Amino acid sequence: MTRELLRVRDLAVRFFTEDGQVNAVDGISFTIKAGEVFGLVGESGAGKSVTARALMDLIETPGRITDGAIWYRNPELADQIDTSRAINGDFVDIRQIADPIRRSLRGPSFAMIFQDPMSSFDPTVTVGKQIGEAVEVQRRASADGHRAFAHSREYGLGSMLLDTIVPTREFVSPASMDRAVDLLEQVGIPDPGDRAEQYPHEFSGGMLQRAMIAQALAGEPDLLIADEPTTALDVTIQAQILELLAELQTTEEMSILLITHNLGVISQMSDRVGVMYAGELVEQGTLTDLFEHHVHPYTAGLLQSVPDVEDPSAELNPIDGTMPSLLDTEMGDRCYFADRCPKAMETCLEDPPVVDATSGEPMTEPNTTRHVTKCVLPNQPYDPTAALSADKSNNTEGSE
């Protein structure tokens, strides 16, 4: 069994808006092992991207990580940290370490590729230079010895002023530019030397997505977070990008957190899968657990709403209704899927426990490499006589 790389425990991200508190991510736990692809699926607004950004520490105001721990396995880092609370063996809780250290993890530990490659490159800087920047940041940081603390000193006020007075000063060294060209070649961009000199608008969407992957690879990350990497691309390019990701994952020996709402992509790429709904992980397990032995009705619903290639005439079975509002005041403490669930029962008006999907045994220490679900069904098989009637569910909604 491979080692665990990341243990996310009870992670909660809330947005404090004028309308009230939005529970975008509501206490989720999952584990990513070294060298595996963990897929995260769910419909739009389920909290997938927020989860990814929380790992990168890129949550923006009015959002905040309010609770939970992100244990990241890095023995080297664990040696450097003094705060004992933040250490558990080789694992470090990156939520508890100082900001500069956490920032220094971006690149060599976690890297991210974004949804829309077109808007993820600065239009005023050449593609090669932007990848070179990523290389340069890492090169300077590691040249300084104590990598974790060097980061904030690398480019400060002084460099900024100097750059303004002497506009020809280059931050990116020729060596880093060479490495950038190598990276472009590695992600399959033809003629990388000339391409590096071009601006983002001269690239196609697929090429830019490759360039972004190249940029993410610059720090040789342990975990690559791919936030819907193929959404903005057409299907043929999509396949190429996925192939590239799979290939790089083996050569670079990194883990990938793959976020998508495309079940086809998940089945093709992932080792294990988590299904998100309304800020919660409702079910997770291996690919076969989820696709063949799923327990949660939402997982079943998601799988049924995919068109069947074998039988194109078959009718689609979309899940009725929409995801509930994530406003704290309107959420209450219940199963958020109950209103749309074909198997909703009286007990679903209470918050369901996280249990083992087969035995129904509750998970106290969420050892989430097993097949688990947040549902009452494993313990209480569906009983039509106890079914939740529509008006009752509405009443509860009204009273809250």
Partner 1 sequence: MENGTLQAISESVEVSGTWKYPLGTDPLGRDMLSRLVYGARTSLLVGILGTLIAMSVGVPVGLSAGYFGKRVDDTLMRIADIMLAFPSLVLAIALVGLIGRVAIPVPAPWATLGLVSESMPKSFILPGTVVLVVGLVRWVWFARVARGEALSIANEEYIKAAKSVGASNMYILRKHVFPNAITPILVLGTIQVAAMIILSTSLAFLGFSGTTLSWGFDVAQGRDYLASAWWVATLPGLAILLTVVAINLIGDWLRDALDPGIEGETGG
Q: Which residues bind partner 1 (CB under 8 A)?
A: 56, 58, 60-61, 103-104, 106-108, 110-112, 114-116, 119-125, 130, 133-134, 137-138, 141, 151-152, 154-157, 159-160, 163-164, 171, 212, 215-216, 218-219
The smaller minimum CB distance to partner 1, of residues 162 and 314, is found at 162
Q: To the nearest whole angstrom, how small is the minimum distance from the Cβ of residue 216 to partner 1?
A: 7
Cβ atoms of 382 and 400 closer than 8 Å: no
Residue carrying the six token digits 């939520």: 95
Q: To the nearest whole angstrom, how small is the minimum distance from the Cβ of residue 111 to partner 1?
A: 6
Least Cα distance to 218 among 154, 137, 125, 144 occurs for 137
The smaller minimum CB distance to partner 1, of residues 104 and 186, is found at 104
The smaller minimum CB distance to partner 1, of residues 119 and 394, is found at 119
Angle made by CA atoms 55, 56, 59, in degrees to the nearest 5: 90
Cβ atoms of 173 and 136 closer than 8 Å: yes
Sign (positive/negative) of CA torsion 344, 346, 351, 355? negative
The smaller minimum CB distance to partner 1, of residues 217 and 335, is found at 217
Give the other-Cβ count within 10 Å of 174's Cβ. 9
Q: Characterize 330-348 residue by residue with b for buried, 16 or more Cβ atoms within 10 angstroms of its Cβ, and e for exposed.
A: ebeebbbbbbbbebbbebb
Cβ atoms of 25 and 12 closer than 8 Å: yes
Q: To the nearest whole angstrom, how small is the minimum distance from the Cβ of residue 98 to partner 1?
A: 15
Q: To the nearest whole angstrom, how small is the minimum distance from the Cβ of residue 122 to partner 1?
A: 5
The smaller minimum CB distance to partner 1, of residues 159 and 359, is found at 159
Query: CA dihedral defined by 94, 98, 100, 102, rounded to 10 degrees?
Result: 0
The smaller minimum CB distance to partner 1, of residues 157 and 235, is found at 157
Q: To the nearest whole angstrom, how small is the minimum distance from the Cβ of residue 265 to partner 1?
A: 21
The smaller minimum CB distance to partner 1, of residues 151 and 294, is found at 151
Q: To the nearest whole angstrom, how small is the minimum distance from the Cβ of residue 364 to partner 1?
A: 35
The DSSP bridge pattern shows strands 87-88 and 110-113 to be unpaired
Cβ atoms of 371 and 284 closer than 8 Å: yes
